[in-house]
Amino acid sequence: MKIVIDAFGGDHAPLEIIKGTIEAKEYGQQLALTGSVAEIQKCARDNGLSLDGIELVEAPQIMDMHDDARLVIKQKADSSMGKGLRMVAAGEADAVVSAGPTGALLMGGTMVVKRIKGVKRPALGAVIPGLRGNFLLMDCGANVECRPEMLDQFGVLGSIYMKKLFGIDSPKVALANNGAEDSKGTELQIEAYQMMAANKHIDFTGNVEGRDIPMGDVDVVIADGFTGNMILKTIEGMGISMLSQLKGMLTKNLVSKLAAAVLKPSLREFRDKNDSAKVGGAPIIGLQKPVIKAHGSSKAEAIKNAIRQAIQWSGSGVSEAIAEAVKE
């Protein structure tokens, strides 16, 4: 199995991407970095890192935050992101990881790697650490406007992903909504509810309110891309805000610092449990091959985990199961 990694995506490229890729060698799979080979080599040399055993693939351009997403298809097909996508499409690699711009990766994923036949729209998922277990939130922003049948199908894609990658026998699927009753929400949620309730491919448990989403009692939370993005980012922001307050509390004075020292292992556990980077990146689900969007702020550990996720995904049979489920 070969995983290709975009060395020039994200805020900490290329150094942290290179580091994470080197750390991921422990998984025993072939790894390839795309980008300016000279720059990758220089960065490794400057930081005393060995690139032994990692394939370097020349891709002179970079997809920039401010670039039109469509550039990745033609004008910037030779970018580190574009090259990675094309390698996967051509069968030269099994999965691609990039911390570059989300819009470009979605566009490139859809146009270059292409959808599984029968998939209406690929969606961006995010596996989030909940209080009582990880859950998949999707769509997190690939499709800002959705039709009910898209939400219904996201339920199928998400259910298969959680089953195959997290070993959950019959994942509980719920619809993010502003109340429990089937009459809640806009027309979109009301219609999607009916379709999901009738869908035999999923274990639909009804609506889930915002308050219950972080509990992690359901395995898959379905939303349109606008709503999903608001939920995902609000969860992120609350995590940052509360950890920051906690830190302030523990460094207030000498006594609290002593208490903090005693609590250090528990605090680390707390932080780790709430750290999405430990789970991996955001999968773009519905494409023929695994495409993983790592967070723009990814450091080595997050990249390493995204690579681990790409390896698991690639060998999981998710794509085959999706193709089977949506072929009707």
The answer to whether the CB of 292 falls within 8 A of the CB of 284 is: yes
Q: Which CB, 9 or 225, lies closer to its own copies?
A: 225
Q: At closest approach, how far in Å is the CB of 189 from its own copies?
A: 8
Q: Site for its own copies (CB under 8 A): which residue of 77, 111, 195, 250?
A: 250
Residue with Cβ nearer its own copies (42 or 252)? 252
Cβ 20 to its own copies shortest distance, Å: 23
Cα(116)–Cα(98) distance, rounded to whole angstroms?
A: 20
From candidates 148, 185, 281, 290, binder to its own copies by CB under 8 A: 185
SS3 call for 57: strand
Least distance from its own copies to the Cβ atom of residue 235, Å: 6
Residue placing its CB nearer to its own copies in the complex, 27 or 226: 226
Residue 80 burial (10 A CB sphere; 0-12, 13-18, 19+): buried
Q: Note whether 205 and 173 are within 8 A (CB).
A: yes
Q: Where are the alpha helices (DSSP H) in the chain?
A: 15-23, 37-46, 80-89, 102-108, 148-166, 187-198, 225-250, 254-273, 300-314, 318-326
230 binds its own copies (CB under 8 A): yes
The residue behind tokens 């950890």 is 243
Would you count residue 215 as binding its own copies (CB under 8 A)?
Answer: yes
Q: Identify residues 123-152 at the interface with its own copies (CB under 8 A).
A: 130-131, 141, 144-145
The reply to whether 328 sits near its own copies by the rule CB under 8 A is no
Size of the site for its own copies (CB under 8 A): 54
274 near its own copies, judged by CB under 8 A: yes
Between 49 and 267, CB nearer to its own copies: 267
**Within 10 A of 1 (CB to CB), how many other CB atoms are there?**
14
297 binds its own copies (CB under 8 A): no
Is it true that the peptide bond before 101 is cis, omega within 30 degrees of 0? no
Report in angstroms how near the CB of residue 142 gets to its own copies at its nearest: 11
Single residue of 180, 244, 272, 320 touching its own copies by CB under 8 A? 244
Residue with tokens 């910037």: 76
* Span 251-270, contacts to its own copies by CB under 8 A: 252, 255-256, 258-260, 262-263, 266-267, 269-270
Q: Which residues pair with 204 in a beta bridge?
A: 173
d(CA 101, CA 181): 38
Sign of the CA dihedral running 222, 323, 163, 166: negative
Q: Which stretch binds its own copies (CB under 8 A): 5-13, 67-75, 250-258, 303-311?
A: 250-258
Binding mask 151-180 vs its own copies (x if CB under 8 A, - otherwise)?
A: -------------------------x-x--
- What's the closest the beta carbon of residue 131 comes to its own copies, in angstroms? 4
Token couple for 162: 């959680």
Amino acid at 110: T
Alpha-carbon gap, residue 133 to 128, rounded angstroms? 9
Work out whether 214 is an interface residue with its own copies (CB under 8 A): yes
Residue identified by tokens 């990249």 is 303
Chosen residue from 235, 284, 291, 318 binding its own copies by CB under 8 A: 235
**Options 41, 118, 226, 296; binder of its own copies; rule CB under 8 A:** 226
Contact by Cβ (8 Å): 81, 5: no
Closest to 96 (Cα-Cα) out of 288, 226, 298 = 288
Determine contact, residues 93/87, Cβ cutoff 8 Å.
yes
List the structure tokens of 278: 């430990």
Q: Which residues bind its own copies (CB under 8 A)?
A: 130-131, 141, 144-145, 176, 178, 185-187, 189, 209-215, 225-227, 229-242, 244-246, 249-250, 252, 255-256, 258-260, 262-263, 266-267, 269-270, 273-274
